[in-house]
Amino acid sequence: MLTNGMTVCAFWEMAHLPIIYLTTSIVLLLLSSGASRAQHDCPPAPDCAPSDQSSRFRTIDGTCNNLNEPLQGAAMRPYRRLVDAKYADGLWKPALAGSGSPMPNARQLSMALFGETEMQHPRHTMVSMQFGQLMAHDVSFTADAFGMQCCADGKMVPADQARSPRCLPIEVARDDPVMAEEGIECLNMVRTKTTLEDPCQGRGGPAEQLSSVTSYLDLSVVYGNSLEESHKLRTFEGGLMRVEHRHGRDWPPYFPNRTQLCDVKDETEACYLTGDRRANQSPHLALLQIAFLLEHNRLARELAILNPRWDDERLFQEARQINIGQYQAIVYYEWLPIYLGRQNLVAYGVLPEQGTQPDFIDDYDPSVDATVSNAFGNAALRFFHNLIAGHLDLVEESLQPTGSIRLSDWLDRPSVLELDGNYEKLSRGMINQPHDRPNFHLTPEVKHFLFRSGAPVGTDLKAIDIQRARDHGLASYNAYRQFCGLKAVRRWDEFEELLRPISAAAIPAQYESVEDVELAVAGPLERHHRDGMPGETFTCILLEQLRRSRVGDRFFFENGQTGLNRRQVHELRKASMARILCDNTVGLERMQQRAFFLVSDDNPVVPCEQLPVVELMRWRTVEP
């Protein structure tokens, strides 16, 4: 029996406190007011007693992956720290500059240091950018940081009108060239819930932010992060996940109370129930979510034919294990070399050297903590926001673009997929349209119009990234460079070696001291490092985590701990994003062999049946 393990505990409600930041004394008072673990309805420690399932299949919530530390990497647990947290009060309050003055305004940093010119990448498709977002959602989700109104209709909610102490809105200058013209005075942001607010964590300060998803690459975006979530997504027949048949194809089920989650006018518009509430954020993200959902059902049906005696639970777990294994193979062998560079991955031990791949990469190490680091999930992974394109192409069967849709028109509105054949057109567009170049520019669609919900303007993704890093107490840029064994910046002119010329010239005007410069600001401005896209500091943080995510995952498909035999591992290594899309996209009968790259002479369009396939005969059991 799979254990539910750690679930969301009853959090303290502090919305009645009429201040924006809790002072150290107030937080300590709250923590000392009888908030012991025994006085709250906290779940018991998970039971990781050995069993057939615990040794072969991962739990939904990530518990018992590490048998020595059952909660390690589980959902609703704190992020891991690479560098000690930096708070103004040592506990929770966002950091100040070294002089004691406030840090530069996040929106002004976004406007001064990050451009908004869209430039197409010469080789990579939108699928590659979108897969990165799917992977990021799989391993990191700030806990309970949505839903509160700190800044309503562009105006600060007054402190005497139940403004939560977890509000950390971003002020907008009166001369802001885009926002101010529409009367916007602030951008909404809610602080992530932390260990200070959760008595079930059994911790004092300083605050550690909670992630509501597992740290493992386990397709929790499809399967959920608790048994309760998972059960809502299953049929409990034939190992299948729930789908609804409309317009000649299967879709995720509708989300209950759609108007509360999606930007929909009424309950007739599509808004999907998946393992991750963010699945509805963009049309392309929803397409990938649907592809991996349908892949599970395809696998379960084929396994049922091969193994007619398997019951629902066995079919579900086996299909889930194969689906996750294919996904992990795509992450490490197809996607990561594009963005971090094969040379970097091999040098850091994330991948084996070319041509030396054994039957099993048998280096699972229970002493390695796979928990996602705060800097990885809330700074370095956000580098890929620079790759977002502002318009999504609609492509006909002839592979000719016939128009496009504006991204900000359809954020949190997946119903566009069910209109006028857009599912096929947007699917073809996703594999034929290039994403933006990796540089210091962001499309205006996310810099000024993100989640605008039909209004003239929305919010600023880059400003949110900067403010979120402050919320999480991420240390300075220099602190992370020193962690990575890199030379710290001591003079402004030293940035000329690290950043692009325009960025190196602009950054001194924004900060009082080089020691104040933040990871979330300088990190994405760095020049590319070797054969990867990010700079050397972000590359270090990304590689550090991705090695842990593989070596510290007892259920990683290649490490020989999961009951998969070498022939099954060999089959899973054949997985590709192209085949996943081909097998699960109605109307897609031909595509290029490598979905993350544009069509070219060495990446031609071929019939789907010519793409390598994972042969499920390797999972057929011989019944007595």
The residue from 137, 284, 435, 472 that is catalytic is 137
CA gap 200, 38 in Å, rounded: 9
Active site residue 137: yes
Nearest to 551 by CA among 417, 314, 365: 365
Radius of gyration of the chain (CA): 24
Nearest to 198 by CA among 43, 59, 424: 43
Q: Which residues contact 355 (CB under 8 A, 6 or more apart)?
A: none
Per-position DSSP letters for 374-389, written without gaps between them:
HHHHHTGGGGGGGG--
State the residue for tokens 């007595």. 624
Q: With beta carbons less than 8 A apart as the criterion, state whether 13 and 162 touch.
A: no
- 77-78/151-152 β-pairing: unpaired
CA gap 262, 78 in Å, rounded: 28
Per-position DSSP letters for 391-449, written without gaps between them:
EEEEE-TTS-EEEEEEGGGSTT-GGGGGSTTHHHHHHHHHHHSEEE-SSSB--HHHHT-
Angle of helix 422-432 relative to helix 126-139, nearest 10 degrees? 100
The angle at the Cα of 387, spanning 386 to 389, to the nearest 5 degrees, equals 110
Q: Is 245 marked as binding a ligand?
A: no
- Residues with active-site annotation: 137
Binding site members for heme b: 385
